[in-house]
Amino acid sequence: MSPLREDLSRRHFLVTSVVVAGAATLLATEPHLDFPAKPRDRLAVTSWPFRAYMEAPGNHDRDRSKPGMDAKDFAAMAVERFGIHNINPLTGHFSSTEPAYLEQLRNAVARAGSHIVDLGHGGRSFYHPDKARRLAAVEFGKKGVDMAVLEGSPSLRQDITGVPGGKEEVLGDLAEYGEKKNIVINLENDVPVGEGPFFLVAVMEKVRSPYLRGLPDFANSMNPSGDAELNYKGVTAMFRHVFNMAHVKTAYAAENGKVYEVDLARLFGIAKKAGYSGYFSMEADMPGDPFVNTQKLVDATLKYLS
């Protein structure tokens, strides 16, 4: 067995459970991870707040006035600056998606004593009325799944673009591919139209795959209205379908400059009530220095998890 396969087998495996539906007994596979118990070991850092630094083709958020960072160096930075040994980078922040680079990235993460616990992947139009466009979106998602396998990530956070149009079942096709590769597909509540929390929950309940799961973001659903109660209800709904990842932030910074703050204590209470034992990723998407903002999130999260 190769070292990569040994690592994947150790950190990411499946358990088989018997599901009884009426009088019929069906064999179903469920994703399973042994999550760490110590609060700091449950923390991760995502590359999104550091997008101005990430050297990658097509990264339009790169700020050339700031020092550059290759994705291969991100895990070591998270360890050195924050004492966090888990990351969830975005594939859009990779300087290449070629196998040789992905192997270098995996090795760099291992040398840092870190792990990729979720992999963010850009979106295509899974809802497009043109079937060819929908199939192209699924194929793009499959490439993300394959990258997750190579990087030892247990899951892929798949972005979705477009306006829902009754074709959401194609996400089941991606989940089926993820199941074959032992990779969970995470859907994050993000843009209000195609990734609203209640809509995503409806999609997951329609597809009914244990490999299509929710990724609750603490503040994204403050967009566009700033309705805090609606945001908390959305996060609660997402936690009913969560697997391994949630995004922590103290506020949503809108494009119009408004900043909508959220109640971290209440949100961690929602996670606790849901029995969530997975990872919390620091996504400090506030104006200002992302290094300073991330450290503040780390400190706050450790307080609530302790």
Under DSSP, the state recorded for 161 is -
The gap between the terminal CA atoms of the chain, to the nearest Å, is 39
pLDDT, position 163: 79
* pLDDT single digits (tens) 243-296: 999 999 999 998 888 999 999 999 999 999 999 999 999 999 889 999 999 999
* pLDDT single digits (tens) 92-132: 999 999 999 999 999 999 999 999 999 999 988 998 889 99
Collapsed DSSP state (helix, strand, coil) of residue 164: coil
Collapsed DSSP state (helix, strand, coil) of residue 102: helix
| CATH domain 35-305 topology | TIM Barrel (3.20.20)
**Cα 228 from Cα 128, distance rounded (Å):** 31
Model confidence at 14, pLDDT cuts 50, 70, 90, reads very low
In sequence order, the 6+-apart residues with CB closer than 8 A to the CB of 292 are none
**Cα 253 from Cα 239, distance rounded (Å):** 22
Average of pLDDT values for 25-40? 81
Whether this model's pTM surpasses 0.85: yes
Task: Please state the domain extents for the chain.
Answer: 35-305
